[in-house]
């Protein structure tokens, strides 16, 4: 059965995030009240931190995953900052040890006795918000393919890589459907590369969450992103069903008109390919 490989140090998983860094990402997301670029980079930093913590055992961080981030705007290139600058796929232990900086913020938490308490938490930063230029999504999909081409060969028994594309608008360098299809043509023995797409809206708009058909989608742009999105494999579908209603066997890894909270949940669901890391 496809998409059933267990994640382990000998069989690591792989996540590659493509993040739109075009000029329009400087706009404010109306529901969340934050700049889309800031909200998206915060969400990516948060999911990277969560992945590191999930991989942390008593002796250190185990390399259960390889991770990369590609930004596309005025240029298309790996987007991790600091010592990881220029790297496309990085073992999670190096992500853990080499954030660009670590901020400290106060987080409000339950105290377990009905009250709340402010707790200092550490926020590592790997990705800075960027918003300039056009939307060369086709080129980013091609760069993703070239980054994963060798990985799927050297990890042929692994769970296939998951590519997560975060965008607020249409590609400006052509129709991305072709490059998307070439990307998901890569595969390990456990299945084809998965491509999940999240569209971030500036307005307060009703989101479309993990649809299983085009019929509820208003325009051609949304339909194109739907066609580019892979069907959720069973173990990801199980996680999505805990968070969202109306998940079916044909539901795709696709959200349209997401706000920042939807985006955070999308990244969390898309990176839950294993709940049991040994």
238 interacts with another protein by CB under 8 A: yes
Site for another protein in 97-116 (CB under 8 A): 97, 99, 102, 109-113
For 111-214, strand residue ranges (E) read: 116-125, 162-167, 187-188, 191-192, 194-200, 208-209
249 touches another protein (CB under 8 A):
no
Report the alpha-carbon distance of residue 176 to residue 119 in Å, rounded. Answer: 44
Closest CA to 77 of 155, 149, 21, 151: 21
Looking at 120-128, 166-174, 226-234, 257-265, which segment touches another protein (CB under 8 A)? Answer: 120-128
Q: Does 83 bind another protein (CB under 8 A)?
A: no
Q: DSSP code of 250?
A: T
The answer to whether residue 52 forms part of the interface with another protein (CB under 8 A) is yes
Structural tokens at position 258 = 């997401």
Quote the least distance from Cβ 155 to another protein, whole Å. Answer: 20
Which is closer to another protein, CB of 57 or CB of 204?
A: 57
Each residue 259-278 as x (binds another protein by CB under 8 A) or -, in order, gives: ----------------xxxx
Nearer to another protein, 56 or 77 (CB): 56
Q: Is 153 in the site for another protein (CB under 8 A)?
A: no
- The tokens of 217 are what? 């989608």
Q: Does 175 bind another protein (CB under 8 A)?
A: no
122 or 189: CB nearest another protein: 122
Q: Does 199 bind another protein (CB under 8 A)?
A: no
State in angstroms the smallest separation of the CB of 200 from another protein.
Answer: 27
**Spatial separation of the C-alpha atoms in residues 90 and 94, rounded to whole Å:** 7
Question: Are 22 and 168 within 8 A, CB to CB?
Answer: yes
How far apart CA 134 and CA 17 sit, in angstroms, is 18
Identify the residue whose tokens are 């073992």. 91
Count of residues touching another protein (by CB under 8 A):
30
Does 58 participate in binding another protein (rule CB under 8 A)?
yes
**Would residue 174 be called left, alpha or beta, if left means φ above 0 and alpha means ψ between -120 and 50 degrees?**
left
Complex with another protein: residue 110 or 206, whichever CB lies closer: 110
Burial class (CB in 10 A: 0-12, 13-18, 19+), 27: middle
Please report, as ranges, the residues that interact with another protein according to CB under 8 A.
Answer: 6, 49, 52-54, 56-58, 61, 96-97, 99, 102, 109-113, 117, 119, 121-122, 124, 235, 238, 242, 275-278
């Amino acid at each position: 059965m496809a998409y059933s490989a267990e994640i382990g140090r000998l069989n690591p998983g792989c996540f590659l995030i493509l993040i739109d860094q075009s000029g329009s990402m400087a706009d404010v997301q109306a529901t969340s009240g934050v700049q889309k670029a800031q909200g998206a980079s915060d969400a990516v930093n948060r999911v990277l931190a969560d992945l590191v913590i999930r991989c942390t055992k008593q002796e250190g961080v185990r390399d259960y995953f390889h991770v990369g981030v590609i930004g596309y705007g005025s240029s298309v290139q790996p987007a991790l900052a600091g010592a990881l600058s220029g790297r496309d796929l990085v073992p999670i232990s190096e992500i853990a040890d080499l954030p660009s900086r670590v901020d400290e913020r106060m987080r409000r938490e339950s105290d377990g006795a009905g009250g709340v308490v402010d707790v200092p938490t550490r926020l590592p930063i790997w990705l800075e918000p960027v918003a300039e230029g056009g939307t060369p999504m086709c080129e980013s999909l091609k760069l993703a393919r070239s980054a994963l081409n060798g990985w799927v060969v050297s990890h042929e028994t692994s769970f296939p890589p998951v590519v997560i594309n975060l965008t607020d608008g249409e590609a400006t360098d052509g129709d991305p459907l072709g490059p998307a299809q070439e990307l998901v043509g890569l595969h390990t023995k456990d299945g084809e590369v998965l491509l999940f797409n999240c569209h971030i809206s500036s307005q307060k708009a009703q989101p479309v969450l993990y649809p299983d058909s085009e019929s509820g989608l208003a325009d051609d742009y949304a339909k194109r992103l739907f066609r580019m999105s892979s069907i959720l494999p069973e173990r990801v579908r199980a996680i999505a069903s805990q968070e969202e209603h109306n998940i079916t066997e044909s539901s795709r890894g696709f959200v349209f008109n997401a706000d920042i909270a939807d985006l955070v949940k999308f990244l969390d669901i898309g990176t839950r390919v294993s709940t049991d890391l040994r």
